[in-house]
Every structure is written in structure tokens, then in C-alpha cells.
Amino acid sequence: MQPVVIGDVIWEPSREVVERSRLKRFMDRHGIETFDELLKRADDDIEWFWDAAIKDIDIAFFRPYEKVVDLSQGKPWARWWVGGRMNIVQSCLDRHRDGDFHDKTAIIWEGEPGEVRTLSYAELDQQVSRLAGALRRLGVAPGDRVAIFMPLCPEVAVSVLAAAKIGAVIIPLFSGYGPEAIATRLRDGDAKVLICADGFYRRGHVIPMKETADKALVNAPSVKKVIVHRRVVREIPWTHGRDLVWEVLLEDHPDRARTEELDPEDPLMIIYTSGTTGKPKGTLHVHGGFPVKTAQDMAHGFDVGPDDIVFWYTDLGWMMGPWLIFGTLVLGATMLLYEGTPDYPAADRLWRMVEQHKVTVLGVSPTLVRGLMTHGDEVPAHHDLSSLRILGGTGEPWNPEPFQWYFRHVGRSRIPVINYTGGTEISGGILCGNVITRLRPCSFAGPVPGMAADVFGADGQSIRGEVGELVIRNPWPGMTRGFWGDKDRYLETYWSRYDGIWVHGDWAYVDPEDGLWYVLGRSDDTIKIAGKRLGPAEVESVLVGHAAVAEAAAIGVPDELKGEALVCFVILRPNQVASSELAVELQDLVATALGKPLRPKAVHFVDDLPRTRNAKILRRVVKSVYTGKDPGDLSSLENPSALAAIGATRS
């Protein structure tokens, strides 16, 4: 793989920023002077660290735990907070409702047509209690699965918290899923109740949800009741005896409901991730896991506290949806939810929302930034973004140009871009930036404290200054408790390569000079040309650096001579014209930057690339369609129409 390009330092924290940060206060409390010292101590003594961390973010317990972690069944099956009794809703709502945050805003919501609603912590608790009472009356018991198929509106947070409050297990579903994707997850999770909306708005059009849900339910016989929120208020099909109106259902229940006392290891949520083949993987998370990890990442990585308004452009079906809900509420912060597209009805929608709602922490994906860049530098410049103090980015590796654009034109070169990478099965981040260390483009400060991350070479030994596999040496509370109904697949996926080591499937690099970390993409996306390993991000960064290119995807295809050949797909910026001359120019650009043997075999111009709702480009799908192979699970695909254009380039 090519050497990592290390950019200049673009941001250094001021003394004031460091001293007021949650991470520095945590370190001071425990007599720790440097970030590296914190990482070492956390790795050497996981019981000390996680005991200190859970107290720092103030997770509430009905009964205190007697032991931090039990490793008697091995690292893959670590059990946390042994002997304790808890329910994460106690930390998210109960203690806030009865304390200083009673009238504090918990949720700001904006619909795509422009309407705005807010809910205080007390109002949110009332809604959650009413739905919790309704679910109990419908016969939902602790351990029963409740699926949620809704846009990002206040009712989605109410649904998540109400299910958790009674000890039910949440199954979050992407708002853009089709019937078969929904049915597969409902069947696999044996869901008892589905909560859905009648529809939502996207680019000015109503996207029907109830009709989609009804088609899915034909093949999901375990679902006995459907609760329908009238988001759009439109005519919809109705099955009497099964379907229930949200608003009517909640009217019949009191404003207070009992919060179920649970074991910290009791299930909270099954989040499905797409697989390259076969059925999606249902990652199982627990009350003492996912929300603890999300709140700790927010506190120690993104410096989130009660004064923050956090806006992460996401969907409930992406891990960042539940991450946003649980993390902000545990920390007593405010979340901003938005159901629509980030550049509708105008290119400045996202920046206008930041200005209007005084957002302090903004999170997006690199792909989304690449798309917003095409509207021009002047679009964010027309808005007052001075409320921002943290920018976040996750979903896939950055290219330097969009990272720099985000830093300069959105952050105005005054605030850090906190890079964040991990996954659904992690409950958040493996690596993250922070506000107490320097920043270079596309870099991470290092592991999230408590994540014993390392980089292994081909021999399974720790390396620095070389590209290798990103691994984790110790368990952590947010680690998935396995795949729902398939423990063997979980062990095979993460624990089978090295004894007691989690292999995540990403290429990573640690700079031996200043210790900053970099992620180069999925190791299963690696392209191998004439014996040389190449990460897609390396090629795509070169292509996106061209003035005509908005986005790119690089894949390896079979080649008799080289083993694999490089093929690139390019989306051009507005007013740029595809031509054979431009294709050759881009091929030459890659060859000059990466070496003649790595010159692309072809560059194809397309109008779109297959991506998920959270804007992540699905390179495995690009490769499969282009090579005529089975693309596997396509349930997370936002834009199936992109596949035909890619298939057409094969001729």
C-alpha cells in the first residue's frame, strides 16, 4: 500500500480550550498529565478506566455494580457492571425530569417543509411514559422486540426510549428501506410490535411508509400490532384490530410510568448491518453497553456537555441515530433532529439550520461534504456559523480536499474537525479526535480512551510507520454481545484471526513522528495490482483533487496480467462535461501521483454512485455490479437507480 500522505498541522488547541474540556478535567481528576499517559493507563487497567469513565458520565444505577467486568467466559463474551441493576432511561430521562433539566430543551426538530417543534426533558418524559404504558397494555414484556420504522422526528426518540423503559428490545429500521429489507429484519428479530409513520418528506415529495410497512408485514407474521404516527396526515390503508393511531393510543395513558429495573447485560437493541453476502447481521447491544459507550465518546471525544446542541445528519437505521439520542440525553445536552435532505429546498439548508438553532456540535459524513462542496464556497459563507465549536465526521475515510473545505469554510479555520471511526458493532468509535491534541487533515488523535486499539502487520505484531490491520486488544462495554441468533458468525467475523484480538477490517497507519492515526479504508476493499496493495481512498483522494471531479469510487477488477486492474467511477462537478480526453487526463493524474503501474485501466463517468441513506458509497456493490457478480445485501441502498449506469459501463 502507498505511503500515507501526512499534511501540515492545521489546528492547535488553545490553553483555554484544553482547560475547559471534559477530557482534561477527567485527566486532572486522576492525576494524568498527557493523552498518551491516559491511553496507556486505560489499556493496562480496564477495570480502573471503565469504573472511572462510567462515573465521569454519571450513569445511574438502581443498585450499584459489585464488579466492573467479568472475563471468565473469554474476551468475546465479557460481562460488565456485574451485580448492578439499571435501565438506561433512568440516566436519559428520569433523573433529568426530577432535577435541574426539567424545563431544559431535550429535542429540537425541523421537518423538511420547515416546521419546528421542541420538547423539554419533562415533555419528552411524559410522551415516553405514555407510550411505555401503551406498549405494556398491548402485552409487550421485557425482552420482546419492538421495531421502529420512522423518519427522524421527535416520535422516533419517544419510541426508542419507551421501548427501552419497559425493557423491550429496539430494532431500528432505515426510513428508506423497502418491504423485503423490513420483512427480513422483522422475521429475524421475531418482532412483536412495529411503530411506523404514515410517511415523510424528502425533496418536497411525500415518501409513503405505511404502505411499505404493510407489504413487509405480509411476510412478518410475528408482528401483532402496528402503531402509526400521522407525520404527514394522509390517506393510508388500515387493518382494523392490528393498526393503532399513535395520538389516540397515547391519550389513554398517564404522564408517569415505571422504569423497568434490569440487569446491565439485558438486551437493549438489535441493529442490523449489511453483509456482503447472505442475510444482514443483527448486532446485539445491552443497556450497560451501547449508551455507556456513546455518552463516553461524546464526552471525551466531542467534548459534549449540557450546554451543547448536537446536530448529526443521520437516520435511525444508521448507528449514529441511536447514538445521537442516547448520548445527548445521558449528558443532559440538546439534540437537533431533521427528517429531510441537507440541500433542499436550497443548497444552504444545513447551514441555515446551524445558524437558526445555534448548533454547537455538527456531524456529517465525508461523502455529504463532497456533495455540499459542489454548491460553492460562498454558500456556507452567507451564514453565521459562530455557534459551532466542534465539527465531526464519520462514515468512511476522508479525502484531504473535503476535510480542508469543511475545516475552512464551515469551521472558518477556528475549530477542530473531530474525525471518528468505528462501527455498529463497536457502539461508536475505535479512533477519534479530541480538543486537547493537534490536528492534521484526515487524522485521528488516537484510540478513544478505553479502546485498546493497535495496528498489526502481516505477522500479527504491532507496527508503526506502516499500513496494517486495525485491531483491538481489550474488550469494552459497548462491544456487541454477538449477532442475534448467530454467535458463531460473530466469533468468525471478529475473533478468529488472532487469539483474544478483535480484527475490525480496516487499514490503519500510525505516524511514528507525532503519533497521529489514519484510516485508509476497509481491508476487504483493498486493491492488489501486480503485488502492490492499494486502498480505494488513496486513488479517490487524487481524483477528487481534480477541479472537475465531485466524487469518485475506485475498485479492483480481475486482470490476467496484474491480478487486478484499477477501474474508477467519477461524478463530475456541475457544468463539467465528460469526455474521453478528461478520462485520459484523470488516468494520467493517478499514474503521476501513485506510480505508472497503478494507472487506472478505465475511468467511467456516472451521474451517481450507490450509497446508503447516510451517504456512504458502497464500493463492494460497485465492484459486484461492474464485474457481473451477485452484489449481496442491497437493503441499505438509498439509490438503486445508480446500479444500471454502472452495469452499462461494462460493455
- Segment 406-448, tens digit of pLDDT: 999 999 999 999 999 999 999 999 999 999 999 999 999 999 9
Closest CA to 423 of 489, 503, 537: 503
d(CA 278, CA 272): 13
- pLDDT for 277 equals 44
> Each residue of 529-588: pLDDT tens digit?
766 667 787 788 889 989 999 999 999 998 877 778 899 999 999 989 999 999 999 999
Amino acid letter, 113: P
Residues of the chain with pLDDT > 90, as a percent, come to 79
Which residues face 36 on adjacent strands?
none
Looking at residue 627, its pLDDT comes to 87
CA–CA dist 196, 467 (Å, integer): 44
Distance CA 146, CA 158 (A): 13
Specify which residues 551 forms β-bridges with: 571
DSSP string, 67-116: EEEE-TT-GGG-EEEET-BB-HHIIIIIHHHTSTTTTSEEEEEE-TTS-E
Given a cut of 50, whether residue 14 has pLDDT beyond it is yes
Average pLDDT over residues 586-613: 88
For residues 367 and 350, give the distance between their C-alpha atoms in angstroms, rounded to a whole number.
15
The answer to whether the CB of 49 falls within 8 A of the CB of 69 is: no
Q: What is the pLDDT of residues 452-508, one digit of tens each?
A: 999 999 899 999 999 999 999 999 999 999 999 999 999 999 999 999 999 999 999
SS3 content of the chain, % helix, strand, coil (to 5): 30, 25, 40
In the numeric block, which cell numbers belong to residue 528? 492488489
Question: Of the candidates 26, 158, 174, which has an alpha carbon nearest to the alpha carbon of residue 92?
Answer: 158
User: Please, are residues 169 and 145 in contact by the beta-carbon 8 Å criterion?
Assistant: yes
Average pLDDT of span 321-333 = 98
User: Is pLDDT above 80 for 291?
Assistant: yes
Whether residue 322 is preceded by a cis peptide bond, meaning omega within 30 degrees of 0, is no
pLDDT level of residue 239 (50, 70, 90 thresholds): very high
* Residue 61 confidence (pLDDT) above 90: yes
Q: Which residues contact 379 (CB under 8 A, 6 or more apart)?
A: 347, 348, 351, 372
Q: According to CATH, what is the number of the domain 526-648? A: 3.30.300.30
Rounded to whole angstroms, how far apart are CA atoms 214 and 536?
40
**Percent of the chain at pLDDT exceeding 70:** 96
Q: At what angle do helices 154-165 and 121-137 cross, to 10 degrees?
A: 60
pLDDT at 26: 98
Q: Please tell me the predicted confidence (pLDDT) of residue 279.
A: 67
> Is the pLDDT score of 352 beyond 90?
yes
How confident is the model over 592-619, as a mean pLDDT?
A: 84
| DSSP notation for 186-244 | HHHHT-SEEEEESEEEETTEEEE-HHHHHHHHTT-TT--EEEEE-SS-------TTTEE
Beta pairing, strands 169-172 & 145-149: parallel
Who contacts 438 (Cβ-Cβ below 8 Å, separation ≥6)?
9, 11, 12, 13, 514, 516
46-60, 325-339, 406-420, 542-556: segment of lowest average pLDDT: 542-556
Burial class (CB in 10 A: 0-12, 13-18, 19+), 70: middle
Cα angle 460-461-462, degrees, rounded to a multiple of 5: 125
What mean pLDDT value characterizes the chain? Answer: 93
> What type of residue sits at position 641?
S
Global confidence as pTM: 0.88
Banded pLDDT at 274 (limits 50, 70, 90): low
pLDDT for res 644? 84
Q: What is the mean pLDDT of residues 358-362?
A: 98
Q: No. of H helices and E strands in the chain?
A: 22, 29
Q: In the structure grid, which three cell numbers stand for residue 18, read together?
A: 484544553
Residue 533 forms beta bridges with which residues?
Answer: 528
CA torsion, ordered 111, 117, 121, 125, to nearest 10 deg: -80
Choose the weakest-confidence range: 127-131, 266-270, 349-353, 532-536: 532-536
Mean pLDDT of 352-358: 98
Instruction: Find all residues with CB under 8 Å of 134, minimum gap 6, and list them.
Output: 227, 249, 250, 252, 253
User: Residue 397: pLDDT band by 50, 70, 90 thresholds?
Assistant: confident
Task: Give the pLDDT band (50/70/90) at residue 67.
Answer: very high
Task: Compute the distance between CA of residue 516 and CA of residue 438 in angstroms, rounded to an integer.
Answer: 9
How much is the pLDDT for 509? 95
Report yes or no: 324 and 335 within 8 Å, Cβ to Cβ.
yes
Contact criterion met (CB below 8 Å) for 397 and 520? yes
One-letter amino acid at 419 equals N
**The pLDDT of residue 276 is above 50:** no
